[in-house]
Structure formats: C-alpha cells, structure tokens
Structure 1
Amino acid sequence: MSWTYATFLSLLTVLLALSWSPEADSAAVPSSTGSTKDPQGPLNKIFMKEADASNFFRRRSRRGAKSQDEINAEQRQILAADERKREFHEEKRNKFESFAEEEDDEQDERSRESTEQWREFHYDGMHPPQEYNRQST
C-alpha cells in the first residue's frame, strides 16, 4: 500500500507543477471571446486573396524561353562534363591495362624461372639442355 501512496503523491505533484508552469497557459485552448475581435486572425498570414493566388500561379506556370546564349552555355557545360568523364575512364582503363600487363610479365618471369630450375635439377648430363637445342634450330 505504501508504493501506491507514493505513486499517487508523485503524480499529484507533477500535475500541480504542470498546471502552475507558464507553458501551460500558452498550450491552453483560447476562449471564444478572443476570436470575436479578429475572425481572420492567423488565417490572414496563411491564405491570400484569390486574385493574388491566380496571378502567382499564372506567373509560375509559364516558363520563359531560353535565349540562344543560355542554350549554348548549357551545351558547352554538358560537353565539358562528358569530356571529363571520358578522360577519367580512359585514364582508369590505361592504369588497369598497365597493371595487368605488369602482372602478366611477372607471372611469365616466375614460370620461366621455375621451368629453368626444374631443367637444371633434372639435367642428367646425357643430353644438352633444351635451350641449346632451340637456339641451334
């Protein structure tokens, strides 16, 4: 029973503190007497007259034609961006090709060395090494 009593007291103190705080007055619903003097009140800031609204949309709906200078400038920007992309991809492809070529060369060198070591190890002295045979033919 003591915990229910303590809970009740804490809820009561929170309720009193909230009701006495200054923020509680601003969150309260205004009375109907305040709305009689200015019926449009905050709605004036949100809504505009019909004529103003139609003029607003009429001005925004029509898009002015671009001049030839604007069209040319846009085309130059597009072409420059395409050229930068093309150069970037070409550079990337060249780097990859050179990397792949170096890897192939290293692999060829390793396989040549291992083949040479195998021939030296298995050479019995009876026949000349294969490299001499190839060079003589």
Structure 2
Amino acid sequence: MAGTHTVLLTLLPTVLVLIVLAGVESAAVKDVKDSKAQGASKRVFMPASDASNFFKRRGRRSPRTYEEYYAEQRVKMAANERRREHLEEQNNEYENYLEEERDGETDLPV
C-alpha cells in the first residue's frame, strides 16, 4: 500500500506538468504580430517556391556564364603570376647567395 502511494505521489506532479504544458503552444514565439519581427523575417526568409526556383536556376552542374568563367580565369592567372614572380625572386636570391659564396672562396689566401 505504501508503495502505491509513493508511485502515485511521484506520478501526480508529472501528470500535472504534462497537462499544463499541453496547453502551451510555444514559449518562444509571440502570437502578437509585431511589425519589426515580421519585417525582419521577410528579409531573412523567402517563400518555398522562390527558394526552389533559386536552386533550379543555379544548380551544381549548371553552366557558367562567360563573365563568371572569365573572372575565374583572371583570378587563376593572377595567382600563377604571383607564384611565378615569387619563384623567380627566390631563384635570384639563391643565385646571389651562390655568387657571394664563390667570391668568398676565391678571396681566401692559400
């Protein structure tokens, strides 16, 4: 008998909490239409039809426009040019170092 009273006293608050929470729709969303909140959500979210059209227009395998292709090629060419100049500068520094080493070896008295 004491066991059933303990179980009932334990379950009673749980049942009451569930009954109260069932009446609450959401604690985070207000029912009042706030003009600021509505304006912000319009800037962030778009209708599903617009979103699907956006992804249909520009899929993963869709062809690039000429401007996109040309811009990508310019970026690649600029990166290659910087890389080439850097390697050329390193080669010049290494050649200067070798010349200084050779000059240092020939200046030594025998």
**Where does residue 36 of structure 1 map in the other structure?**
23
TM-score relative to the length of structure 1: 0.43
1:44-89 deviations in Å (ceiling 9; x for gaps): 8xxxxxxx4x974674374253210111111011111101110111
Read off the aligned partner of 2:91 and give its amino acid letter.
R
Q: Superposition pairs for residues 59-74 of structure 1, below 5 Å?
A: 59-60=54-55, 62-63=58-59, 64-74=62-72
Gaps of 5+ in 1: 1-30, 45-51, 116-137
Q: Superposition pairs for residues 1-137 of structure 1, below 5 Å?
A: 31-32=17-18, 33-38=20-25, 41=26, 52=48, 56=51, 59-60=54-55, 62-63=58-59, 64-110=62-108, 113=109, 115=110
CA distance change for structure 1 residues 69 and 55 in 2, over 3 Å: closer, same or farther?
closer
Runs of at least 4 residues off by over 6 Å: none
Give distance in 2, aligned partners of 1:69 and 1:59: 19
Give distance in 1, aligned partners of 2:94 and 2:76: 27
Give distance in 1, aligned partners of 2:102 and 2:24: 89
CA distance change for structure 1 residues 55 and 73 in 2, over 3 Å: closer, same or farther?
closer
- Percent identity for Structure 1 against Structure 2: 30
Structure showing greater Rg: 1
SS at match of 2:23: coil
**Where does residue 39 of structure 2 map in the other structure?**
none
**Relative contact order, higher structure (CA 8 A, sep 6+):** 1
Aligned residues: 73
Gaps of 5+ in 2: 1-16, 30-47
**Where does residue 26 of structure 1 map in the other structure?**
none
C-alpha displacement of 1:104: 1.3
